[in-house]
Amino acid sequence: MTHSRSAVLRDLTGPYSIETVTVDPPGPGEALVRVVAAGLCHTDQFGRSGLLGDTFLPAILGHEGSGIVEAVGPGVTTVAPGDHVVLSFDSCGSCDACVGGAPSNCVSFELHNVTGSRPDGSGCVTDASGARVTSRWFGQSSFGEFTLATARNMVKVDTDVPLALLGPLGCGIQTGAGAVLNTARLAPGQTIGVFGVGAVGLAAVMAAKLSGASEIVAVDLHPTRRALAAELGATRVVDGNDPDLIAAVRGDGPGLDVTFDTTGVSAVMSAAIDVLRRPGLCILVGAGLDTLTVFPAALAGKTVTYVYEGSAVPQLFIPRLIDLWKRGLFPFDRLITEYPFEAIDQAEADANSGVTVKPVLLLKP
């Protein structure tokens, strides 16, 4: 058993509680990880939605962890104690999608990532009273000093890269960059519009620049984020409150080749479809609860898809992003603001208000 100071969410609208919990030893296919840092992602807010059931809370959230392997369970051969790892999403490893190299399309993705339990329904953390705490959020629950992860959602990384920087690669940055590089496979000279340039959208902007896009249109409500998007590669920025948003985004041409929506807002998703040329591709990733309503004829020559985790294989894609960062081609570090672990409530508030693009909680030096 391992004791861990972890951030426990006990109320949908309340603050996090820093508590000492007990983490079980790693079981088959698992590893105990000492968390160095954890990014705070918008998807963590889903834990506050109330849609995950009456027994979801209390819960430890966090799904952008980075740290050092402390111990491994039976059958784990891909990592060993002392290895530096980034924690990403989990998958079953045996369905057609996983075997075919598309773990983000795992047939049991939701079971492995958003239930907060192992696939068999068991947990691995108890609080000071011995009561169970939900602790398998995206196969990791990294808002704490220690966590259990699975062999499939750990990515071994070189020890010369600062671990405190790498956690957001496990979800948000991977999602944005992967949507452009893996899903759209944006070609040189093509055009793209990115709706919502928080961490996910800005990762898409940087990836589009890498791809040689001739036009990169960044749409957001926050002027500071629009300005940062321009610095990171956007060729045009558009205020999301523009009364003629479609015309402002489309510009003088026939429309854009690809659009990417991170907001999950109905009107914005519809706009992302409307500004496409034919043929055109719209990629949706927003974790909101809005629905998308569209006239069928509006889809003529257009494709709309919803994508988890940037269609990435984390063990391949995260090292690729790290290499691009080392070469100065993917400066995702510019999105990060570090917070002490105990300031998790402030980090969450700053992310919600737009003050901070990507908060990262520091747990260990």
288 and 160 within one domain: no
78: number of Cβ within 10 Å: 14
214 and 129 within one domain: no
- For every one of its 365 residues, what pLDDT tens digit does the chain have, with 9 covering 90 and above? 899 999 999 999 999 999 999 999 999 999 999 999 999 999 999 999 999 999 999 999 999 999 999 999 999 999 999 999 999 999 999 999 999 999 999 999 999 999 999 999 999 999 999 999 999 999 999 999 999 999 999 999 999 999 999 999 999 999 999 999 999 999 999 999 999 999 999 999 999 999 999 999 999 999 999 999 999 999 999 999 999 999 999 999 999 999 999 999 999 999 999 999 999 999 999 988 899 999 999 999 999 999 999 999 999 999 999 999 999 999 999 999 999 999 999 999 999 999 999 999 999 65
104 and 22 within one domain: yes
User: Residue 170's pLDDT is what?
Assistant: 98
E-strand ranges in 246-353 read: 256-261, 276-284, 302-306, 336-340
- 195-213 residues labelled b (16+ CB within 10 A) or e (exposed): bbbbbbbbbbbbbbbbbeb
Q: What is the pTM of this model?
A: 0.97
User: Residue 265's pLDDT is what?
Assistant: 97
Taking the C-alpha atoms of residue 313 and residue 153, their distance in angstroms, rounded to an integer, is 10
208 and 344 within one domain: no
Taking the C-alpha atoms of residue 162 and residue 332, their distance in angstroms, rounded to an integer, is 13
User: Residue 287's pLDDT is what?
Assistant: 85
347 and 225 within one domain: no
Q: Which domain holds residue 52?
A: 2-170+331-362
163 and 31 within one domain: yes
Question: How many Cα neighbours within 13 Å face the side chain of 348?
Answer: 20
* Two structure tokens written together for 210: 């890498």
- Whether 17 is in a domain gets the answer yes
Taking the C-alpha atoms of residue 335 and residue 175, their distance in angstroms, rounded to an integer, is 14
Please state, rounded to an integer, the average pLDDT across all residues of the chain: 97
189 and 165 within one domain: no
Q: Per-residue pLDDT tens for 30-67?
A: 999 999 999 999 999 999 999 999 999 999 999 999 99
